[in-house]
Amino acid sequence: MLAGSQEGVLRAVRQVEIHGQRYFDMAISPQAQPEQVLEARLGPESAYPDPQPGDRVRVHFMMRMVVRVEKLQG
């Protein structure tokens, strides 16, 4: 996918600190392919506050890379 977004479920999240900067390591299963797991490392500006496993999310892509994850309501 060159650019776009899709819904999914956050399977795992871990906070890491690299050279004093905080990041989230996320594992996400797309809704259309729940057996697949996408992995991404995002800074706090590209993720929503307090991500938790089980959250329904929208994953935004650019050039096949995850660039933003936002939590879906409901």
Number of structural domains found in the chain? 1
pLDDT score of 5 more than 70: yes
Question: Which residue range(s) make up the domain with 11?
Answer: 3-71
CB-count burial class (<10 Å; 0-12, 13-18, 19+) for 21: exposed
Between residues 64 and 9, the one the model is more confident about: 9
For residue 18, the model assigns a pLDDT of 96
Instruction: Tell me the pTM.
Output: 0.89
For residue 1, the model assigns a pLDDT of 56
Question: CATH no. for residue 28?
Answer: 2.40.50.660
List, for residues 14-58, the tens digit of each pLDDT value: 999 999 999 999 999 999 999 999 999 999 999 999 999 999 999
For residue 66, the model assigns a pLDDT of 95
